[in-house]
């Protein structure tokens, strides 16, 4: 919900079938109060920094211009950083979407104690949040310390640097991100499945739908907005990858480039080259990409649509 709705004229007509955006006067005040804390946060943590980055990025030697953008796009690592992200998304997103949906359907169709137990187990890796999860991965990736040592030995890897070769990083990151995020998304998608009215499912059964047809033609279309939301947030996370490749770069003593992701390149410009303008330009480029992709996903999945 956004602040733009507050000023809508109140309408006192009988409620039409679809929900309206306009609200009566008292409800409007209530909505304003409810949305206020978010708007404040949005201004402080979203709009001001974004506006500041935009101004910084457009500052040129004389007045305003695109010098900063030219410098960052001209960097010899610029294309590579995006290539790395695309490769990672290419590996990660299909696994994530198919994996989460598949597991959700399995959990949903295993009612009772078994289903909820499995849901809990799938959630566990996600509960080990952020840095702790990442440190765990460093052990898993390091032959000699790893519980999946046999796997690394099977590939002929005996050192961390052999496991974490640049070409293999997208696969490693995909695995990391899947186990970190899948459990949480499973709970969310499951919530979506639980929201499907029983009558709809019963009607489908009466019409002769088998489990596969039921999942494919009934459940998936209904939970499409949830899947769109998942895709949106994961794409955004992918483009902002920072700490994972940064630590991988440090533990491999630089075998993974310190400028592996767009955010890392931006960081290098801000704090090593001390060129904040170019760093800001990179942030703006990332924002535009995220916005564009986000918009596309939102429109395609009907994420914010009320038509159902």
Partner 1 sequence: MSSLSRHQVLARLLAGSVAAMLLVSACSGSTTPATKAPGASASGAPAGGQEDPKATDSGGKIMVWVDAPRQPAAEAFQKAYPDIPIEINAIAGNVGSTDLQQKFALFNQAGSGWPDAIFFPSNDDIAWATSAKINYARDLSGILKDYLSGYTAANNAPCNIDNTVRCARNDSAPDVFWYNAKLFKDWGYTPPTTWEDYQTLGIKIATEHPGYVSGFLGDAYAPDRYLWASGCPTNDRLSETKAHINTSDPLCKRVVDLIDKMVAAKALSPVGIFDPNAAQVGPKLAMSPGAVWWGNYLFRDTWKIPAGQMTATAPIHWSSENPGFTGDEGGGLWGVSSHIKGKQLDNTLTFIKFVTSDPRWQVELSTGLPAYTAPQQAWLDKGAKDGYFNDYPTTAAAMVAAGNAVRGNHYYMLYNTGGIWSKTVTPVLTSGKDLSAAWDAFGTQLVNEAKTFGYEVVATGN
Residue 291 Cβ, how far from partner 1 at the closest point, in Å? 5
Q: Between 158 and 217, name the residue whose CB sits nearer to partner 1.
A: 158
Residue 110 Cβ, how far from partner 1 at the closest point, in Å? 32
278/264 Cα distance (integer angstroms): 13
Q: Which of 272, 76, 261, 274 is nearest to 169 (CA)?
A: 261
Q: Between 1 and 148, name the residue whose CB sits nearer to partner 1.
A: 1
Q: Between 1 and 127, name the residue whose CB sits nearer to partner 1.
A: 1
Residue 175 Cβ, how far from partner 1 at the closest point, in Å? 19
108/152 Cα distance (integer angstroms): 35
125/156 Cα distance (integer angstroms): 27
Residue 159 Cβ, how far from partner 1 at the closest point, in Å? 6
Question: How is 60-121 classified by DSSP, letter by letter?
Answer: -SSSB-SHHHHHHHHSTTHHHHHHHHHHHHHHHHHHHHHHHHHHHHHHHTSTTHHHHHHHHH
Q: Tally the C-alpha atoms within 13 A of residue 31's C-alpha that lie toward its C-beta.
A: 17
Q: Which residues of 59-94 are buried (b: 16+ CB within 10 A; e: fewer)?
A: beeeeeeebbbebbeebebbebbbebbebbbebbbe
> What would the two tokens of residue 128 be?
């080990």
Q: Between 117 and 159, name the residue whose CB sits nearer to partner 1.
A: 159
CB atoms within 10 A of CB 252: 20
Backbone angles phi, psi at 59, to 5 degrees: -75, 125
Q: Between 5 and 175, name the residue whose CB sits nearer to partner 1.
A: 5
Q: Between 133 and 276, name the residue whose CB sits nearer to partner 1.
A: 276
Q: Between 88 and 252, name the residue whose CB sits nearer to partner 1.
A: 252
Q: What does each C-alpha distance from 89 to 76, 191, 228 come to in angstroms? A: 22, 25, 15
End-to-end CA distance of the chain: 18
101/192 Cα distance (integer angstroms): 11
Residue 105 Cβ, how far from partner 1 at the closest point, in Å? 26
Residue 128 Cβ, how far from partner 1 at the closest point, in Å? 16
Residue 9 Cβ, how far from partner 1 at the closest point, in Å? 8
The DSSP 8-state label assigned to residue 44 in this structure reads: I
Residue 54 Cβ, how far from partner 1 at the closest point, in Å? 9
Q: Between 49 and 211, name the residue whose CB sits nearer to partner 1.
A: 49
């Amino acid at each position: 919900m956004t602040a733009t709705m507050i000023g809508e004229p109140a309408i006192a007509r009988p409620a039409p079938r679809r929900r309206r955006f306009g609200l009566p006067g008292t409800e409007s005040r209530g909505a304003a109060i409810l949305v206020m804390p978010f708007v404040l946060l949005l201004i402080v943590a979203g709009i001001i920094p974004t506006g500041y980055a935009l101004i910084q990025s457009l500052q040129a030697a004389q007045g305003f211009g695109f010098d900063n953008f030219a410098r960052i796009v001209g960097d010899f690592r610029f294309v590579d950083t995006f290539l790395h992200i695309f490769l990672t998304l290419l590996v990660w997103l299909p696994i994530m979407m198919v994996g989460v949906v598949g597991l959700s359907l399995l959990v949903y169709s295993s009612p009772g104690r078994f289903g909820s137990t499995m849901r809990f187990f799938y959630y566990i890796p996600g509960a080990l949040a952020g840095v702790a999860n990442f440190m765990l991965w460093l052990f898993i990736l390091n032959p000699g310390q790893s519980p999946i040592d046999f796997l690394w030995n099977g590939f002929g890897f005996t050192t961390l640097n052999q496991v974490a070769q640049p070409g293999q990083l997208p696969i490693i990151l995909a695995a990391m991100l899947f186990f970190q995020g899948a459990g949480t998304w499973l709970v969310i998608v499951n919530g979506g499945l639980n929201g499907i009215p029983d009558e709809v499912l019963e009607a489908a059964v009466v019409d002769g739908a088998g489990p596969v047809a039921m999942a494919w033609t009934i459940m998936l279309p209904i939970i499409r907005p949830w899947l769109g939301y998942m895709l949106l947030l994961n794409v955004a996370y992918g483009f902002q990858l920072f700490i994972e490749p940064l630590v991988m770069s440090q533990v491999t003593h630089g075998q993974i480039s310190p400028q592996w992701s767009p955010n890392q390149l931006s960081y290098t410009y801000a704090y090593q080259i001390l060129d904040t303008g170019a760093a800001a330009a990179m942030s703006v480029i990332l924002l535009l990409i995220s916005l564009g992709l986000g918009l596309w996903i939102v429109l395609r999945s009907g994420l914010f649509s009320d038509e159902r």
